[in-house]
């Protein structure tokens, strides 16, 4: 069932009056609760109630809000605005996600009631960037801003900064050009966490000096599913002076590597991070990754070696390739079979039992299985022959190697 409202969607006045009316939202006592009295008579047929119970957190997501309301309703709802504002002084979290706010406009100083909001969520609202900027100037204590799924491909620069913002969550937009991301550094100088997954950012174009000044307080960045295809873009993350955490998966650059190679190469390229893709980087893992990085580039031409390679060679020296050791179990061995004066080369399967080996030997030494004793001779051991007396024992348990001997002795009556 669709919520009440005309064909153009619901108004802010309708939603507030319905959701926080005394009938639907009983008064609860405690910090942050407020009763707003609307003293001016509302127009006939208006949804405005004579009293609203407003909590510390206003949740208005997915309410279908597209307009503020007609002038008469707004006048009734906002009469004596100073009284309304004074009655919700502790409003800290406002979620307006999934309401169509593309046409919403705000006059300067009209959002004073949001002055204490610290977390503002405007996901999937198509709210304009100009409106967002106006809101940041009207909310002096704003710390967290969520702007996902708003189809932003660019943002306009603003001369007014928001010095209190610590977290910007702006995933699933179309901010592919670093020139747009650069503006965040100017507008939000205290930014500590930047979440930009699923924007297909192509590259990081600034140099070291600019990046150090641009995001001086950034500690965490999420660039999942970016369009990076050069290691130079990864290296530039080192220029953010306080960066500790990086989330970077699903980029073209890493598609050809194994999971182990991806993580090791990333850790080696980012010496200052302590968290990569949500996992802690230990000192031991870092050393292993840096040594792997050196060996991985041993065969590269000098002109193709990354800058990080030379600094790691200075730290560890030029390492030799690791020896390749095959630890897979052997399945076949070439042995010498000795029986009296007869010697013959024989290939035996090591997954068979002693009884099965005896059957194989019957055609070689012309003795029945009940007429022979067999002994294993390890040519590298100082010990003498070992009788293979247990018919169910597997041959691989003897650690038989190529060149060892099997001695067959006929049983005497």
The string of DSSP codes covering 151-164 is --S-----SS--TT
- Say yes or no: 138 and 253 in one domain: yes
- Say yes or no: 94 and 236 in one domain: yes
Residue 218 in tokens: 């950034």
Angstrom distances, CA of residue 130 to CA of 117, 123, 154, 359: 19, 16, 11, 88
- Say yes or no: 336 and 312 in one domain: no
Write out pLDDT tens, residues 380-394.
Answer: 887 889 999 999 999
* CATH code for the domain of 358: 3.10.20.90
Q: Is the pLDDT of residue 370 over 80?
A: yes
Q: Is position 160 within any domain? A: yes
- For residues 2 and 189, the model is more confident at 189
Tell me if 173 sits within 8 A of 151, measured CB to CB. yes
Q: Is position 32 within any domain? A: no
Q: What residues have CB less than 8 Å from 173, skipping those under 6 apart?
A: 147, 148, 149, 150, 151, 152, 153, 198, 199
Q: Is position 33 within any domain? A: no
- Say yes or no: 278 and 402 in one domain: no
Write out pLDDT tens, residues 324-345.
Answer: 666 677 789 999 999 988 999 9
Residue 160 in tokens: 């007014």
How many C-beta atoms lie closer than 10 Å to residue 55's C-beta? Answer: 18
Q: Which of 261, 287, 316 is the last residue of a domain?
A: 316
Site of tokens 């005394």:
22
Question: Total structural domains in the chain?
Answer: 2
Query: In a 3-state reduction of DSSP, which class is residue 137?
Result: helix
- Say yes or no: 217 and 263 in one domain: yes
Q: Is position 325 within any domain? A: no
Residue spans of beta strands (DSSP E) within 142-244: 144-146, 167-169, 193-195, 220-222
Q: What is the mean pLDDT of residues 343-371?
A: 93
Q: Is position 23 within any domain? A: no
What whole-number percentage of the chain has pLDDT above 70? Answer: 79
Q: Which of 289, 316, 343 is the last residue of a domain?
A: 316
- Say yes or no: 291 and 341 in one domain: no
Tell me if 46 sits within 8 A of 21, measured CB to CB. no
Write out pLDDT tens, residues 21-30.
Answer: 777 766 555 5
Tell me if 92 sits within 8 A of 56, measured CB to CB. yes
Q: What residues have CB less than 8 Å from 370, skipping those under 6 apart?
A: 411
Q: Is position 37 within any domain? A: no
Tell me if 372 sits within 8 A of 358, measured CB to CB. yes
Q: Which of 16-20, 70-74, 77-81, 180-184 has the highest mean pLDDT?
A: 180-184
Q: What residues have CB less than 8 Å from 168, skipping those under 6 apart?
A: 145, 147, 184, 188, 191, 193, 194, 195
Residue 324 in tokens: 């390749």
Write out pLDDT tens, residues 276-305.
Answer: 999 999 999 999 999 999 999 998 999 989
Q: Is position 3 within any domain? A: no
Q: Is the pLDDT of residue 13 over 80?
A: no
- Say yes or no: 265 and 346 in one domain: no
Q: What range does the domain containing 393 cover?
A: 332-410
Residue 170 in tokens: 């702006």
Tell me if 151 sits within 8 A of 125, measured CB to CB. no
* CATH code for the domain of 244: 3.80.10.10
Q: Is position 241 within any domain? A: yes
The closest alpha carbon to 201, from 156, 169, 236, 153, belongs to: 153
Phi (first) and psi of residue 147, to 5 degrees:
-135, 40
- Say yes or no: 114 and 140 in one domain: yes
- Say yes or no: 250 and 353 in one domain: no
- Say yes or no: 240 and 128 in one domain: yes
- Say yes or no: 189 and 225 in one domain: yes
Give CA angle at 204 (191, 296), nearest 5°: 115
- Say yes or no: 185 and 66 in one domain: yes
Q: Which of 287, 316, 345 is the last residue of a domain?
A: 316
In angstroms, rounded to a whole number, what is the distance separating the alpha carbons of residues 267 and 290? 8
How many C-beta atoms lie closer than 10 Å to residue 134's C-beta? Answer: 20
- For residues 78 and 186, the model is more confident at 186
């Amino acid at each position: 069932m669709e919520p009440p409202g005309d064909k153009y969607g619901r108004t802010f006045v309708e939603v507030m009056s319905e959701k926080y009316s005394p009938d639907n939202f009983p008064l609860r006592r405690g910090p942050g609760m407020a009763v707003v009295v609307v003293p001016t008579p509302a127009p006939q047929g208006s949804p405005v109630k004579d009293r609203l119970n407003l909590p510390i957190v206003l949740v208005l997501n997915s309410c279908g809000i597209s307009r503020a309301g007609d002038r008469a309703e707004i006048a009734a709802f906002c009469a004596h605005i100073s009284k309304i504002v004074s009655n919700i002084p502790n409003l800290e979290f406002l979620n307006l996600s999934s309401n169509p706010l593309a046409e919403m406009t705000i006059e300067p100083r009209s959002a004073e009631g949001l002055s204490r909001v610290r977390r503002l969520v405007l996901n999937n609202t198509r709210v304009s960037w100009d409106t967002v900027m106006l809101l940041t100037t009207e909310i002096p204590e704003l710390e967290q801003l969520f702007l996902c799924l708003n189809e932003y491909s660019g943002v306009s620069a603003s001369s007014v900064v928001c010095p209190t913002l610590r977290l910007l969550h702006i995933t699933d937009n179309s901010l592919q050009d670093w020139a747009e991301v650069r503006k965040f550094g100017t507008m939000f100088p205290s930014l500590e966490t930047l979440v930009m997954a699923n924007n297909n950012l192509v590259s990081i174009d600034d140099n070291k000096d600019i990046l150090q000044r641009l995001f001086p307080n950034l500690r965490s960045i999420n660039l999942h599913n970016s369009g990076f295809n050069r290691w130079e873009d990864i290296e530039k993350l080192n220029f953010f002076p306080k960066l500790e955490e990086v989330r970077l998966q699903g980029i073209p650059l890493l598609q050809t590597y194994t999971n182990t190679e991806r993580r090791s190469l990333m850790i080696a390229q980012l010496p200052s991070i302590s968290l990569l893709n949500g996992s802690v980087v230990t000192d031991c893992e870092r050393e292993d990754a840096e040594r792997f990085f050196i060996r991985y580039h041993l065969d590269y031409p000098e002109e193709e070696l990354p800058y990080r390679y030379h600094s790691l060679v200075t730290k560890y020296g030029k390492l030799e390739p690791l020896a390749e050791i095959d630890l897979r179990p052997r399945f076949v061995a070439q042995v010498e079979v000795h029986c009296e004066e007869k010697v013959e080369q024989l290939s035996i399967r090591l997954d068979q039992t002693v009884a099965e080996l005896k059957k194989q030997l019957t055609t070689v030494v012309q003795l029945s299985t009940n007429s022979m004793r067999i002994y294993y001779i390890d040519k590298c051991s100082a010990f003498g022959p070992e009788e293979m007396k247990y018919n169910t024992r597997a041959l691989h348990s003897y650690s038989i190697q190529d060149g060892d001997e099997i001695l067959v002795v006929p049983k005497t009556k």
